[in-house]
Amino acid sequence: MTGFAMTVDGAAVPGAGAFDVVDPATGEVFAQAPDCGADRLDQAMAAASAAFPAWRRDEKRRRALLREAADALRAAAGRLAPILTAEQGKPLKDAHREIATAVTWLRYYADLDLPREVSQDGSAEVIRRPLGVVAAITPWNFPIALAAWKIAPALRAGNTMVLKPSPYTPLTTLAMGETLRAILPPGVLNVISGRDPLGALMTAHPVPRKISFTGSTATGKRVAAAAAEDLKRVTLELGGNDPAIVLDDADPGQIADSLFWSAFANNGQVCLAVKRVYAPERLYADLVEALAARARSVRVDAGTAEGAQLGPINNRPQYERVAGLVGDALDRGATAAAGGRPIDRPGYFYQPTILSGASDGTRIVDEEQFGPALPVIAYRDLGEAVERANGTTYGLTASVWSPDPDRAARVAAELDCGQVSINAHGRGVRPDLPFGGHKWSGLGVENGPWGLYGYTELQVLVGNES
């Protein structure tokens, strides 16, 4: 694939250099992406700054153009989805689904009516003003959907943006920039690409007033530290180690399918995937077997292959990390009820893996694996399971599985995280609901009016009473 350019000030621009992009289904380089460089970054920031005064003024126009952007993205899905599959690895139908998600988010923010906020006595108005230029940094698991989570509320609120995708998946975002270039005024959305140091240059840059970041907790902390230097605002969507707690009245056969896909969708490379399952001793063996049966039946193949349900892991470091965590668990006495090994073919393919016999204190339970491997942990006492579920620095989402909704809700109330689903996982990921993590899983929220407010600063306007 060739011809990928950055979008700066409404024009296609090359980088100062270029870097390789690898197809995870083959492990081979298949394209090059522009490497932005500091001067181009300055141009992008200057363009975003220059576009801000006009863009912030006309909300009606912003809403209309976001709607047009949604339509254009939808129309471009046939071109973008194969690029997403090539660089990310996900099956083509999932690539289409991701682009459809981005379209939904753009539409939601275009349509969202925001109430006027006035003081109780009506004498003052509280207005949410845009901040200015937003630097947006995205990861490689859902490059387009997560970019739209930032673009839609930030632009709707009246900000302009410089967006940088992950160096593992730059191409679809660059192609989306090209599509939106035809619609948005020059400078409103600049899309650049480069290796990790470009992210650090963006967070240290004097122009942006806000950093919106999705990625690892380690990098998120670096972003927060850099932003503190000149008090840039930050929203951080970071990692998770989401627990699913199965109660003793659940039916393993009934919940296994939903639980399995809550852990393995996108090959487990989801911040809010189920990353550890706590199951009561009485149901343990049945649940492990029901999950393992599903893991064994899944078709893992290149994202371009007809019928592929899971693709490869996105990149070599992640592939090695997953293999290392599974190997460590097996060395410490866990058993692979399904999988447990890489798949013997080129690319970063790994068998969907269900681990039994691992417990807290094993790395794959304590850390975020972010891949197709799931430990199932036995518990005797529900209180102890809740304590173990909370016993982590993460706090993104969780789930409780039981046919008794009141009982499940009582357990949910004990969990320290940003979202709990009952008999599902992550069901609250919707454009209209706030999404964010407690503890080291993040700072601030995305989505809904709350997400948009994060791209604003409050200003009180008091009328002349005389």
Q: Which of 271, 368, 417, 446 is catalytic?
A: 271
In whole angstroms, what is the distance from residue 15 CA to residue 7 CA? 10
- What element of type H or E holds 135? strand 133-137
309 binds ligand TXE (CB under 6 A): no
172 binds ligand TXE (CB under 6 A): no
Q: Which residues, 6 or more positions from 449, have their beta carbon under 8 angstroms from its beta carbon?
A: 112, 114
Q: Has 237 been annotated as catalytic? A: yes
Q: Which of 87, 98, 178, 237 is catalytic?
A: 237
87 binds ligand TXE (CB under 6 A): no
Give the C-alpha distances (Å, rounded to integers) separating 355 from 87, 329, 394.
29, 8, 21
190 binds ligand TXE (CB under 6 A): no
Each residue 121-140 as x (binds ligand TXE by CB under 6 A) or -, in order, gives ----------------xxxx
437 binds ligand TXE (CB under 6 A): no
239 binds ligand TXE (CB under 6 A): yes
Question: Half-sphere exposure (CA, 13 Å, Cβ side) for 46?
Answer: 6
Q: Are strands 442-443 and 233-237 parallel, antiparallel or unpaired?
A: antiparallel
79 binds ligand TXE (CB under 6 A): no
The separation between the first and the last C-alpha atoms of the chain, rounded to the nearest angstrom, is 67
Q: Are strands 133-137 and 160-164 parallel, antiparallel or unpaired?
A: parallel
199 binds ligand TXE (CB under 6 A): yes
In whole angstroms, what is the distance from residue 293 CA to residue 287 CA? 10
Each residue 355-374 as x (binds ligand TXE by CB under 6 A) or -, in order, gives -------------x-x----
439 binds ligand TXE (CB under 6 A): no
Count, residues near ligand TXE per rule CB under 6 A:
26
Judged by beta carbon, residue 223 or residue 287, the one nearer ligand TXE is: 223
166 binds ligand TXE (CB under 6 A): yes
The nearest distance, CB 440 to ligand TXE, in angstroms, is: 11
Determine the angle formed by the axes of helices 77-88 and 143-157, rounding to 10 degrees. 130
In whole angstroms, what is the distance from residue 209 CA to residue 231 CA? 8
Which residues contribute to the site for ligand TXE (CB under 6 A)?
Answer: 137-141, 164, 166-167, 196, 199-200, 203, 214-216, 219, 222-223, 237-239, 271, 318, 321, 368, 370
Active site (catalytic) residues:
237, 271
